[in-house]
Amino acid sequence: MKKLTYHIINLIILILFALSTWLNPLIFTNLKYGLILVAIFMSMGLFVRFAKYRKIFNIHKVVLVLALLLSSLNIWISRSIDDILNPINLETTQLSVYVLKENASFTLNESLVLGVSLDIEPSIYESFTLHVENELDFIVRPTQEAYDQDLIEALYNSSLEGILLDVANLAFLEDEELDDFLNKTVIIYTFEKSTIVTPREPIVDDFESNAIVFYISGIDHLGALGWRSRSDVNQLAIVNPDTRTISLVSIPRDTYIPTTCLNNKNDKLAHAAVRGIECSISTIENYLNVPIDYYVRLNFSSFISIFDIIGPVEVYSHYTFKVNEFSYTKGMNTMDTAMALSFARARKQVPGGDQTRGLHQQEIIKGVFKKVTSPSQFGNIQTLINSTRRFVNTNLESSSITALLDLHVSSTKAWQMDSYVFRGDNASRPMPNDPTRFYSVVIHTEEQIKEFQELIKDLRRIPE
């Protein structure tokens, strides 16, 4: 009878252990080597001859596995709540009616002399008109339909009383023009339309024998992550498990590039993000002939929240320079959240402008990676993932994160991180949304594009 009871206890322990690993599959990564010791400890009870000692070992086993189960249950509940409360594939378009500040008392009604932007997606505009008809009880009949710049000029000279714009498209204005517009106008009506985006399926899911390509998109927006805006950060991270190399490839935001969602009309790469993450991804894939498996999309609020969790990071600066109250010296700098954000955005204060900014953004990525994968932090990586996942949009699932962590601990060889910048020549070109004016862009020759395509191909190469 005692033998039967002993075996039943061990069976219950085994079931509890299996349940804890199901609730938290990352446990095998976080405790990869510790589990070996746990297994040895648990099996010792099988070889204890005396019942009183065996009972002690059984008590220890139960306590150990219950603690493991409770820990895993807590992580599972946190992950489930996070998935429910923080949908990660939502994109929001905001339309707003702007009037001059002296006309702030105006309201959106059928008598308002209204101009409507041709840059608004037809489906979004249709939703807006239906909303106005249902909520405000009138049919929108614009006086003028034109590109944003023409509408803004018409508003300034009082030909129009109000203009309806896609707020994200304001990012297309030059910095001085945008500041001037925001100083002269106020919003009297706002409409938001959110759509759920189906995450793309990764092309590669075998991390041990294939190179993986990530796209990191940094949105120029402070606030809700789902809002569309231009992408000022456009980095590829190519993870090669054979060479244990992570290659960071910076593509300047002003790259003049055939944009897939505009029937391959040339536009700035930063503008593709206004039309959704898939537009940015497919545009880069076509331009550089590289398949992108996973994406990570974040904005200013994401950056601030994640950095606050991680804490100060050591970051290398290629130049000595100053931005407002922050001073950076060439070499390593200890950066908190505000200092790192200013560093990542610095463009006019450094030689090379936007291309140096991309290089400095890579240095931040390197610093963060080095800190979170250090031995002192690795035991907390599950908590870090759970804490930061709500601040990013990504098609990475838990199983993929597990596989990446397994890849990280599969070898004692340290990862090498390399930097590349897709440099080009400065030029002036028209934009699809404003074909009558010329804007500053970065252009590449066919030879430069082919050379960079070959470079990326080499970085992804796995020996047969």
Are 386 and 330 contained in the same domain? yes
- Do 12 and 103 lie in one domain? The reply is no
Within this chain, do residues 230 and 118 fall inside the same structural domain, yes or no? Answer: no
User: What is the reported pLDDT for 379?
Assistant: 63
CA dihedral 444, 355, 216, 241 (to 10 degrees): 80
pLDDT of amino acid 428: 95
**CATH code for the domain in which residue 438 is found:** 3.40.630.190
- Give the domain extent around 284: 212-460
Residues 353 and 243 in one domain: yes
Count Cβ atoms within 10 A of the Cβ of residue 125 and give its class: 0-12 exposed, 13-18 middle, 19 or more buried: buried
Chain position carrying tokens 């509408």 = 151
Q: Is residue 202 part of a domain?
A: no
Up-side HSE of residue 113: CA atoms within 13 Å toward CB? 10
Cα torsion 82, 87, 88, 92: sign: negative
State both tokens at 369.
């990676």
Quote the DSSP letter at residue 227. Answer: B
Q: Which residue has the tokens 């974040």?
A: 298
80 within domain boundaries: no
Q: Is residue 114 part of a domain?
A: yes
Domain match, 379 and 275 both: yes
In-domain check, residue 201: no
Our count of domains for the chain comes to 3
* Cα 113 to Cα 31: distance, rounded to the nearest angstrom: 66
Shortest CA distance to 248 belongs to which of 385, 158, 127, 361?
Answer: 361
Cβ distance 224 to 92 under 8 Å?
yes
Each as own residue / partner, the long-range contacts of residues 180-183 (CB below 8 Å, 24 or more positions apart, any chain) are: 181/98, 181/152
The per-residue pLDDT for 395 is 86
pLDDT of residue 77: 45
Q: What is the pTM of this model?
A: 0.76
- What CATH number does the domain containing 127 carry? 3.40.190.10
Helix (H, G, I), strand (E, B) or coil at 253: coil
Residue 402 within a domain: yes
Q: How far apart are the first and last CA of the chain?
A: 59
How far is it, in rounded angstroms, from Cα 372 to Cα 40?
Answer: 30
Q: H or E segment at 279?
A: helix 277-288
Task: Note down pLDDT in tens along the chain; length 464 residues.
Answer: 555 565 565 666 556 555 555 445 444 444 444 455 455 555 555 545 445 555 555 565 555 555 555 555 555 544 543 453 344 567 888 999 999 999 999 999 999 999 999 989 899 999 999 999 999 999 999 999 998 989 999 999 999 999 999 998 887 787 788 889 999 999 999 999 988 777 777 776 677 778 999 999 998 776 677 778 889 999 999 999 889 999 999 999 999 999 999 999 999 999 999 888 999 999 999 999 999 999 999 888 888 888 888 889 999 999 999 998 999 999 999 999 999 999 999 988 999 888 899 999 999 999 998 988 887 776 666 667 776 777 888 888 777 777 777 787 777 788 899 999 999 999 999 988 788 889 899 999 999 999 999 999 999 987 76
Q: Which two tokens stand for residue 367?
A: 């610093």
Residues 311 and 352 in one domain: yes
Alpha-helical (H) ranges within 161-225 are: 175-184
- pLDDT for residue 84: 39
Say whether both 105 and 42 belong to one domain. Answer: no
Measured CA to CA, the distance from residue 209 to residue 212 in angstroms comes to 10
Same domain? For 153 and 276 the reply is no
For residues 42 and 94, the answer to whether their CB atoms sit within 8 Å is no
Name the burial class of residue 464, with classes exposed (0-12), middle (13-18) and buried (19+) by CB atoms within 10 angstroms of its CB. exposed
Is 327 found in the same domain as 186? no
- CB of 303 within 8 A of CB of 218? yes
Q: Contact, 216 vs 247, CB < 8 A?
A: no
- Which helix (H) or strand (E) element contains residue 406? helix 398-409
Residues 128 and 49 in one domain: no
Q: Of the candidates 17, 42, 70, which is a domain's last residue?
A: 70
Element (H, E) at 84: helix 51-85
Q: Is residue 203 part of a domain?
A: no
Which pLDDT belongs to residue 66? 58
In a domain, 27, yes or no: yes
CB-CB contact of 169 with 148 (8 Å): yes
Instruction: Give the separation between CA 328 and CA 342, rounded to whole angstroms.
Output: 10
Please give the Cα distance from 18 to 10 (Å, whole number).
12
Residues 142, 190: one domain?
yes
Tokens matching residue 64? 């150990």
* Residues with Cβ within 8 Å of residue 426, at least 6 apart in sequence: 440, 441, 442
Q: Which of 70, 101, 127 is the last residue of a domain?
A: 70
Radius of gyration of the chain (CA): 27
Look at residue 85 and tell me if it is in a domain.
no
* Predicted pLDDT of residue 102: 96
192, 299: one domain: no
